[in-house]
A and B are shown apart, each in its own frame.
Chain A
């Protein structure tokens, strides 16, 4: 049957909160899995509160009461949790573990990104959950892994990538470290690395019937991406500083100024043949035809002059004009986009960068669609993020056979909260 989504029939229990766990599970949802987000009004996923100051401990209950309209409408939350169902269970209630074990027993995958002690303390760690579902695939993606002296580490994306050795590369050469703080690179990177491990474990389970536990350290998955500078250290003892836009094997390789305010064009020349094409595209000026620029080594040796000369050409042009001229000569070039440029761009539109799921209560929400395009069984954004607890009765009724009376009892007892 074509048309089925790749993960149809897979059920995921998503204990994820904030970013990495939720984004990981949302990718599985886009690809057809049924994802049940287990969350609680007692300890809100704070992405539900992002437009308001984040509050601590008991003040969060107040925040919940006064912000009832906000918690279902935060764009960040919808981007991280679209297409899921929401079940509210107070994890700290003594009645919660037994109920959640029954829920996990119906599922294929568990996703979580708490500090390691959280699920251990309430008896919902891997050792406990595998007893109720022997072929379970479970991933824990904590900051530094389940073991080791830093296993309780708490981070935000840039503080994690700082520890991993990536942020120290960001800044202008010879100057202070600036970092790439707004972009939050490590979170989606770790979410997608985690998703790959889940898929591999599911593949193994389909073939052998064996489940398993994935202990993902976000730190380790991110250090692997800084491997180039680590290899330089292991090979040559060199410690790299901010690299700016410099590249070991490409020159030119930078963002050059264009006509207009804060307008730039990214130009990269991957080999000497591309350099010849670039020289022709900019009209073959005498400086560019000098022998010293003909090879990568020569261009690297005279990089400052090269950048200055090339900027003289780009500065006279709009970013798109420079881009088109260079692309016609098969030279890698593109304008440095702002958010609005990107969202309005016909190429990104054609490739479905954005989706607009709707919900009777929440309305239409613009979200970014996952970037993996499958020709025959494409994924899709299945809907908005759920309202808090929207599917509690439906899920527990259908999957666990709980009657309305039992649900009411769990609710009044404080388990479902």
Chain B
């Protein structure tokens, strides 16, 4: 068997839903031995779905199956002393704890960063929460929705005058996860030098604020507002187009910063009459002052054409526009197929299903998830037999 990059690393994952489990998924795919600790009622993601045939079942939640493949799973009741003792035994030999628990639970169970440092000085303790373990809101409750709100993402999504929308599909939780995994490895590098574990504190609100923040300066430097403008970036991000427009059977995402692709696109449309009007030649003015007019001029051409046709035209002419794909288009993507992106996994309760695969192709230590998501408590005996 080919080696994994993180072979030999032992990770204990103590967290529900997406953030800590996504960190665990990434570390497991890279080769770490990840033991997922669930409460007796199971990870919340088991109750989230989507469910096979829409029938709620704790072993058939798509989100759970996806995020937890490649891990072993144990059940521990941490409200009971015996459960905490077993967790202690696991942490004794672990390199890393990844948790996303409420601070009150950590305090109750003797698992605050101060306590884990005292009891297991070599352990890297990673917390992934919405607001982090320090600062005025460290005891706030939060979900991805609040991270999206606090990090000034939601304010940029949706239509003016209507409610702002969050980043879709719990994205802040995924980003908490990947940054938690990065923090775990950074702390392990530090441990190689000094022999000491440490606490890694990742707040998904910080991550969202950072992700949006580094981009927002492009808007503020232009004097453009950081706000929502429906189907386009506010003031077109400075230059038309920066938008999603409907076509015959879907939507096209049209963005270009330089003028060249836009010129080519107008040519591909047959250089219509309006393209010779000076009013429609200054992309900065169009984008900031009358983008709706331009949208309306493009609409007839777009509505007559399918997304696939438009994409072909754009790829031919080197125009970096793309199509807004739904799940079925993504599943049928020729590029993803040519790279064997989707993988099939057989799960005893959910059967054989396709899953999104590796985020990267590593030449010497390929991504691998050796097993399907654990049944609730599937490996409790195996893990604690030794």
Q: Is the CB of B209 within 8 A of A368?
A: yes
CB atoms of B150 and A337 under 8 A apart? yes
Any A CB within 8 A of the CB of B271? no
Could you tell me if B327 and A201 are in contact, using CB atoms closer than 8 angstroms? no
Q: Are B326 and A165 within 8 A (Cβ)?
A: yes
B19 at the A/B interface (Cβ < 8 Å)?
no
Q: Within the complex, what minimum Cβ distance (angstroms) separates B341 from chain A?
A: 5
**Cross-chain contact B47 with A249 (CB below 8 angstroms):** yes
A145-163 contacts to B, CB under 8 A, are 145, 147-151, 153-156, 158-160, 162-163
Quick check: A6 and B187 within 8 Å, CB to CB?
yes
**Further pairs besides A177-B231, A236-B54: 13, Cβ < 8 Å:** A75-B218, A162-B323, A165-B325, A182-B233, A194-B360, A199-B182, A214-B363, A220-B336, A228-B66, A240-B327, A341-B152, A374-B200, A377-B194
| A325: Cβ under 8 A from any B Cβ | no
Taking a contact as CB atoms under 8 Å apart, the answer to whether A193 and B167 are in contact is no
In the complex, A231 Cα to B192 Cα: how many Å? 39
**Restricting to B64-113, which residues have a CB under 8 Å from any CB of A?**
65-67, 113
Identity of the chain A residue whose Cβ is nearest the Cβ of B244 in the assembled complex: A179
**How many residue pairs at the A-B interface have CB separations less than 8 Å?**
518
Most buried by B among A75, A170, A183: A183
Q: Is the CB of B182 within 8 A of A195?
A: yes
Q: Which residues of B contact A195 (CB under 8 A)?
A: 182
A225 within 8 A of B: yes
Q: Complex: how many Å from CA A143 to CA B143?
A: 30
A243 touches B169 (CB 8 A): yes
Number of interface residues, chain A, beta carbon within 8 A: 156
User: Given contacts A192-B178, A215-B360, are A228 and B148 in contact (CB under 8 A)?
Assistant: no
Task: Write out, one digit per residue, whether chain A residues 158-182 have a CB within 8 A of any chain B CB (1) or not (0).
Answer: 1110111111111110001111111
Task: Find residues 321-373 in chain A having any chain B CB closer than 8 Å to their own CB.
Answer: 327, 330-339, 341-342, 345-348, 350-351, 353, 367-373
Q: Is the CB of A376 within 8 A of B190?
A: yes
What are 10 A-B interface contacts by the 8 Å CB criterion?
A5-B190, A162-B251, A180-B153, A180-B165, A213-B362, A243-B169, A346-B135, A371-B206, A372-B179, A376-B199
Residue B375 lies at the interface, judged by CB distance under 8 Å to chain A: no
Q: Please tell me if the beta carbons of B226 and A227 are within 8 angstroms of each other in the complex.
A: no
A297 vs chain B, min Cβ distance (A) = 9
Known interface pairs A163-B322, A215-B361, A233-B328; A371-B179 also in contact (CB < 8 Å): yes
B51 proximal to A (CB < 8 A): yes
Interface string of B37-70 (1 = CB under 8 A from A): 0000000100111111110000010110111000
Q: Is the Cβ of B216 less than 8 Å from the Cβ of A339?
A: yes
In the assembled complex, the Cα of A367 lies from the Cα of B213 at a distance in Å of 8
Binary A-proximity of B122-166 (CB < 8 A = 1, otherwise 0): 000000001110111100111101101111111111110011111
Shortest C-beta distance, A130 to chain B (Å), equals 10
The count of residues in chain B whose C-beta lies closer than 8 Å to any C-beta of chain A is 157
In the bound complex, do residue B328 and residue A239 qualify as a contact, i.e. CB atoms below 8 Å apart? yes
Knowing A339-B152, A351-B132, the reply to whether A148 touches B338 (Cβ < 8 A) is yes
Residue of A nearest to B64 (CB): A231
**Is A217 at the interface (CB under 8 A from chain B)?**
yes
Q: Given the complex of chains A and B, what is the CA–CA distance between A153 and B134 in angstroms?
A: 42
Tell me if A206 is interfacial: C-beta within 8 Å of chain B.
yes
Least CB separation from A139: chain B residue: B360
The interface-forming segment of A51-59, A88-96, A387-395, A397-405 is: A51-59
A51 to B238, CA, bound (A): 9
Complex Cα distance, B325 from A216, in Å, reads 21
B274 at the interface (CB under 8 A from A): no
Min C-beta distance of B276 to chain A, whole Å: 20
Question: Chain B residues near A202 (CB, 8 Å)?
Answer: 189
A189-204 at interface with B (beta carbon < 8 Å): 189, 192-197, 199-204
Residues of chain B lying within 8 A (CB to CB) of residue A155: 320, 322
- Are A372 and B49 CB-contacts (below 8 A) given A1-B194, A342-B151? no
| Alpha-carbon distance A98/B172, docked complex (angstroms) | 43
Determine how close the nearest CB of chain A comes to the CB of B35; give it in whole angstroms. Answer: 19
A248 to B54, CA, bound (A): 12
Residues of A within 8 A of B361 (CB): 145, 214-217
